[in-house]
Structure 1
């Protein structure tokens, strides 16, 4: 009887939790950024007791390929809950922005293929930005004017496709960010020389078979050779979802918000 009761209760608890999470996600305001004929949906979480006369850090979060679309919702799947935690909102008041990449685009310039060794990613070292990247850069310019942003505390985070986008965005805007957190991403190591003005914490799972860890490892090696301030955490038993362990890192947000541009 106890097992039957538990089986009846669990779905109700799950629905309750899902409803509560959806309700919390509504704290992220829905907006759209329009540039020419292109539109970038995005969500904004303002600090509790937001005061437009004060200046706040800005956190830009780039989602993975699975959350692409135009519903202005899926991009909150991973990462949004971290910034909704009561203690984090209290301790680290910030303006948090989650843009959503369309299915037709990608944050970074990369060609993806497969061979006998698994998935292969060939990153460009520049070139014309993708439509999504152009939109993100335009959105950033708008946000810096629209909101009272503490310019010494602008941060970018991203996972998988968004981790790749994090490297690329800093490469294209090296004088904007104080810190960057790419999770299970990668980039062309040749760009490491352009990343010196930003503090980095790179994360990856050692058993990642979607984006192999060698791409983060190559970037960290190149960054260290260029004297970039970089930390690297490789989770030995983790596959692609290394973002779960990353978001559970107790020092992640304290480290992030301690970083300031000179």
Structure 2
């Protein structure tokens, strides 16, 4: 039997321990808040590997999701997810938003095991080398800007994953919203033979480059009330692609600029995973 003094000492130790745990949790919560890490970002940080690809001068941080049952999959597909201008930087977690979460979710992965890559765009940069402007962001001339090192490293990363992870080169997909959508359009222009399909949300592009972009099947989503990247951006590109008999669809949503949840649904996922480079109508007639 413990004496009264021993019980008091034990209770004191327990109280100090609990206080320590409380302070530790409080500190962790404050650190997460200061570093702009919410619950969703924290979850994705645990689910995705933190890696970097470099050209010797520039580093591009990225997160890689590797499916648990990937050994059962023959030549898995790959999805490249380009972030918006929100939370750019080099900490390699700012890009982990609901955009990325959609593609590592059970809803998507249950359709098919797929690798997912989410590169982190550096602060004060875009995916392309376009000069900074202010909203509304309208279509622009892609030929006036040079290919960016971010774009070059993304292609090198794709080649690396095809070689090292056995990714199916016939089923490499790309998607993005806002700045990431514009980056996606430009990737299709600069690398017309690279991607099997694209989902593009509220971006801007260059309808004069439709002949190169038409090589890749595209689903476009745009909010009709978007005041940041006007709906007319996508309408003009859709019109230009239609003239070339491209595989393109434009879905106009009753929304503004943030359309992630309304655009990425099960039908969009199924459509994307059904695309193969060898099945592209435009590639066949051009070949």
Is 1:195 aligned to residue 213 of structure 2?
yes
- Identify the residue that residue 102 of structure 1 maps to in structure 2: 122
Q: TM-score when scaled to structure 2?
A: 0.78
Is 1:256 aligned to residue 272 of structure 2?
yes
- Identify the residue that residue 262 of structure 2 maps to in structure 1: 245
Quote the offset at 1:242 in angstroms: 1.6
Identify the structure with the greater helix proportion: 2
Counterpart Cα distance in 2 of 1:24 and 1:165: 23
SS of residue in 2 equivalent to 1:61? strand
**Paired positions, count:** 243
Q: For 1:40, which of 36, 60, 66 is the aligned residue?
A: 60
The alignment's C-alpha RMSD in Å is 2.3
Quote the offset at 1:24 in angstroms: 4.5
Is 1:164 aligned to residue 182 of structure 2?
yes
Quote the offset at 1:112 in angstroms: 4.7
- Identify the residue that residue 176 of structure 1 maps to in structure 2: 194
Identify the structure with the greater strand proportion: 1
Map 1:133-148 → 2, pairs under 5 A:
133-148=151-166
Q: Deviations over 1:28-71 (max 9, x none)?
A: 11100011210000001111222188310010010101131101
Q: Deviations over 1:227-248 (max 9, x none)?
A: 110011111x31110222112x
Q: Deviations over 1:186-229 (max 9, x none)?
A: 21111100123211100110111111111111111111111110
Is this contact kept in 1: 2:77–2:167, CA < 8 A?
Answer: yes
Structure 2's unaligned 5+ residue stretches are 1-32, 279-287
SS of residue in 2 equivalent to 1:56? coil
- Identify the residue that residue 281 of structure 2 maps to in structure 1: none
Is this contact kept in 1: 2:137–2:204, CA < 8 A?
Answer: no
